[in-house]
A and B are shown apart, each in its own frame.
Chain A
Amino acid sequence: MKHLQSKPVQYVLLGLVFSVIPYIIPIPQSTMTILNTVVIYAMIALGFNILLGYAGQISLGHAAFMGLGAYLSAYLTGKLALPFLLSLLLSGLIPMLIGIMLGLIALRLEGHYLAIATLGFGVAVQQIFVEWLAFTNGYSGVRAKYPSIFGFEFRSRESFFVLAIAVLVLLCIFAYNLLKAKTGRAILAMRDSVSAAQAMGINIYKYKLVAFALSAFYAGIAGSMYMHLIRFTEPTQWGIGLSLNLLAMVVIGGLASIGGSIVGSVFLVLAPEIIKEVPGLADIKNLSYILTGATMVLAIMFFPHGLARLGMQWRSYLSKRKKNAAVNI
């Protein structure tokens, strides 16, 4: 029973449960695609949460890293005919290196200036996707194959779901282990008090860079998975809209929370799909954007710890009320 309390074991068990569900209950193809997308966005949200939630650094250009991962994976498995797993890893590592290069410059800036610099990066990279025809084929887009591991092709949406969840579980465990060890303490210490962290020997610049690099890696992995799920991509997908959605996922789901990143992704991907099904609401243009914006405002005002921690917030509210009642008697 002791093992059940360990988070990594919980992640694996939850992953197993979710990945067999589609094999037990038949789910329509289109819904399976949406569920796969949820898992993929959870990957990038998780990485982005390390940067925004844990390290307290903002970026408005992370869609670029995901797009880069997508194009790279298409190129590596297509033109270079590399095996899927290797290209998945490279699609994470190359955006990570680019992230480090960007971070070396941009992380000297703080707050608004960092936001503007990363926004500029995002816009510039999207333009490169449009112009660099040899790599991206411009607006015509590129195609990719089904992912395959040791000869097994993940053709069905159900099998892809198992693969996506396995990758997400690995990413969750890695993030969890790292964040509860020395690196996590240093990153949180830096967010809570820069001067105390420095006095304790933490190199602020290094740990900002570590957080930035990790988030770019996670984004690249998510991009590669997306590419092999949809098997087509073009530049308009990787713009500021996605970067802002990412911000919304992390804020709504829960800053500095692994579970929150996943909950945020579920919310941001599923909410527009649910709206589409509701008669009357479906006719209102861009309602999902309005919903995202409004939920973000509500989150900041009323549940700053995010949807994932609503239960905890409610419990602490109740115990506080109990305490106050006791004082009044």
Chain B
Amino acid sequence: MNILWVEDLSISFGGLKAIDNLSFAVEEKSIYGLIGPNGAGKTTVFNCISRFYTPDTGKLLFRSRVNGTIKEYNLLDFAVHQVIGIGLARTFQNVELFKSLTVLENLMVGEHIRTQGGILSQGFNLPKVRKEEKRVREKAMQVLDFLGIAHTASQLAVSQPYGIQKLIELGRALLSEPRLLILDEPAAGMDHTETEELAGRIRQIRDEFGITIFLVEHDMGLVMDICEKICAISFGKKLAEGTPQEIQNNPAVQEAYLGKGDEEYAS
């Protein structure tokens, strides 16, 4: 079963076509990669799906299982802060943490939509609010334990090294118990060992929690290693879709990456 369909997606900014009739589908419980040279429009696709942008044309459908029944949503019916409620969570390319909150509190924000309690009951710190805070805190601690960074819980999120900040962001998204997790360059700024650990972690998230992973990544090693299916795009257009092997052998993809002016990817 597919969890996400993108059909004929197009968006342009001031006459420049950033995405041009792009279609692809992500299968449930798979790890799906979106690759492409710099400026290919990968993050723009993510921003359309997570509703930061509204596409000019095209369809965005999301289907998820809620208590055994399958529900289908048109993502365009949802505002940016509502998509997390139907099971779609994301991380950002340049880590977006809440700098004045601790690591634990950053994760607790991930539970925002499920946290109960009105303004008055919070202001008077009623027993039900205290109970709810305890529940959210414990849940966040569990996720921190899972990510192996529980020792940082009470420290400020911004005082952490970059690799850990990336994990905090991942943890914050995980706390919302998403069905589909969108990761925008999860390995950016990580060294080789950290990237390998991350690969294991991403697989574990899929295997243990059954969360579908959809990622954009520049680190080809990581993409080829963990993705089951890949979509390659260039200048907003789809070049190819297939298994890592198929993508690597695709002449159009090779040209987009190895063609003139893109030496960066030659290695």
Contacts and interface: CB of A to CB of B under 8 A. Distances in A.
Interface stretch (B19-27, B28-36, B96-104): B96-104
B101 A192 contact: yes
B117 A200 contact: no
A311 interface: no
A74 B123 CA distance: 28
Interface in A57-97: none
Interface string A281-316: 000000000000000000000000000000000000
B96 A195 contact: yes
A197 interface: yes
B133 A181 contact: yes
Contacts of B172: 200
B244 interface: no
Interface residues of B, number: 35
Contacts of B122: 177-178, 181-183
Contact of A189 (B50, B82, B98, B123): B98
Interface residues of A, number: 27
Given A185-B109, A189-B109, A200 B176 contact: yes
Interface stretch (A116-124, A202-210, A224-232, A259-267): A202-210
Contacts of B96: 193, 195-196, 199
Contacts of B124: 174, 177
A188 interface: yes
B81 A203 contact: yes
Contacts of B176: 200-201
A199 B90 contact: yes
A197 B173 CA distance: 11
Contacts of B119: 178, 183, 210
A42 interface: no
B84 interface: yes
A196 B173 CA distance: 10
B81 A202 contact: yes
B89 interface: yes
B100 A177 contact: no
A256 B112 CA distance: 21
B257 interface: no
A201 B123 contact: no
B92 interface: yes
A181 B117 contact: yes
A185 B105 CA distance: 7
A198 interface: yes
A186 interface: yes
Nearest to B84: A201
B101 A189 contact: yes
Contacts of B123: 174-175, 177-178
Contact of B117 (A182, A196, A204, A210): A182
Contact of B98 (A174, A188, A198): A188
Contacts of B220: none
B153 interface: no
B259 interface: no
B50 A181 contact: no
B73 interface: no
Given A181-B133, A188-B100, A199 B112 contact: no
A178 B129 CA distance: 10
B85 interface: yes
Indicate the member of B80, B105, B117 with the most A CB atoms within 10 Å.
B80
Contacts of B162: none
A133 to B, nearest CB: 37
A202 B112 contact: yes
A165 to B, nearest CB: 19
Contacts of B100: 188, 191-192, 256
B115 A182 contact: yes
A204 B112 CA distance: 13
24 contacts: A174-B123, A177-B129, A178-B119, A181-B122, A181-B129, A181-B133, A182-B117, A182-B122, A185-B108, A189-B98, A189-B101, A192-B97, A192-B99, A193-B96, A193-B97, A193-B99, A198-B81, A199-B84, A201-B84, A201-B85, A201-B112, A201-B113, A202-B112, A210-B119
Given A193-B97, A199-B81, A202-B109, 16 more contacts: A174-B123, A178-B123, A182-B133, A185-B112, A188-B100, A191-B100, A192-B98, A193-B99, A195-B52, A195-B96, A196-B96, A198-B81, A200-B84, A200-B172, A201-B176, A204-B81
Interface of B: 50, 52, 80-82, 84-85, 89-90, 92, 96-101, 105, 108-110, 112-113, 115, 117, 119, 122-125, 129, 132-133, 172-173, 176
Interface of A: 8, 174-175, 177-178, 181-183, 185-186, 188-189, 191-193, 195-204, 210, 256
